[in-house]
Structure 1
Amino acid sequence: MNVDHEVSLLVKEIQRLGNKNADGKTSVKFGVLFNDDQCANIFEALVGTLRAAKRKKMIDFQGELLLQGVHDNVDVILLKE
């Protein structure tokens, strides 16, 4: 799949699963994204898609890489709606 397409799908999933934070930006916990059945069916490599979206400055999260279990409570913040 094309990276831009995957990033646009990721944005839609963050909007679907997330909530507005104090800054008015949509935010979702990594664990919620990772454990969602619909996301699992869409993304073969969710972590790779998250890194690509971060490089494109579409999202932000703390650290370079998110791992299931260890980073389940890390916020993935949508920078561009």
Structure 2
Amino acid sequence: MNVSHEIDLLVQEIQRLGSKNADGKFSVKFGVLFNDDRCANIFEALVGTLKAAKKKKVIDFQGELLLQGVHDNVDVILLQE
């Protein structure tokens, strides 16, 4: 799969699983994304896709890397729809 296609899919999943925050942007907890069955089937490397999307400024989250368990409560915020 190419990266931009995976990022497009990620945007759709954040919109599906997340809700709008106070700034009007979609936001979802990393743990919700990571533990979702549909996301598990779509993304071979969710963390890699998140990192690529952050680099392209499509999403934002605190830190460099998100790890399951440790970062389950970190918000993944959609910057572009």
CA separation in 1, counterparts of 2:12 and 2:35?
16
Taking structure 1 as the reference length, the TM-score comes to 0.99
Aligned residue pairs, count: 81
CA separation in 1, counterparts of 2:12 and 2:56?
16
Aligned match of 2:26 = 26
Do residues 47 (structure 1) and 47 (structure 2) align? yes
- Once the two structures are TM-superposed, the CA of residue 69 in structure 1 deviates from its matched residue by 0.2
Identity %: 86
Compute the RMSD of aligned alpha carbons: 0.2
CA separation in 1, counterparts of 2:33 and 2:7?
14
- Once the two structures are TM-superposed, the CA of residue 55 in structure 1 deviates from its matched residue by 0.3
For residues 34-68 of structure 1, give each alpha carbon's deviation from its aligned partner in whole angstroms, at most 9, with x where no partner exists.
00000000000000000000000000000000000
* Residue ranges of structure 1 left out of the alignment (5+ in a row): none
Q: Which runs of 4+ in 1 moved over 6 A?
A: none
Aligned match of 2:64 = 64
Taking structure 2 as the reference length, the TM-score comes to 0.99
* Residue ranges of structure 2 left out of the alignment (5+ in a row): none
